[in-house]
Amino acid sequence: MVKKAVHSIAERDVSVLQAFGVRMEFTRGDMLKVCPKFVTSLAGFSPKQTTTINKDSVLQAARQAYAREYDEEITETADFGSYEVKGNKVEFEVFNPEDRAYDKVTVTVGADGNATGASVEFIGK
């Protein structure tokens, strides 16, 4: 059972596991560090291996997630200028001038460098 769960998580770029009331997020690199003997299919993958990030794909995913949270007009005026790469995630600190608020948009990047998902989190005013 554990081996099946580990393989299921390792097949994805990012997986979420809910256990004992705690939500844990795992990446391929995490699985290779924690359970290398169960993840033989990914033996050639190095957690330190960096992919070239497709900035257009990442920015498009960030803007789409922001537009779902707000609307197109607010998205057009929002400033996506500041970002930081953290492993297989790109975090944008977005300023919304209409509400005078900051949001964090997190984009998950796949092994091919393209965006695989995005989420928006309110930071504050």
Residues forming beta bridges with residue 16, ordered by sequence position: 25
Check: pTM over 0.85? Answer yes or no.
Answer: no
Residues forming beta bridges with residue 27, ordered by sequence position: 14
Cβ contact 95:65 at 8 Å: no
Determine if residue 14 is left, alpha or beta; phi over 0 gives left, psi from -120 to 50 gives alpha, anything else beta: beta
> What per-residue confidence (pLDDT) applies to 108?
92
Convert the pLDDT of each residue in 45-84 to its tens digit.
444 544 688 899 999 999 999 999 888 888 888 888 888 9
Report the CATH number of the 55-124 domain. Answer: 3.10.450
Domain locations along the chain: 2-42, 55-124
Is 20 a residue whose pLDDT tops 60?
A: yes
Confidence bin at 93 (pLDDT 50/70/90)? very high
Residue with tokens 């001038």: 97
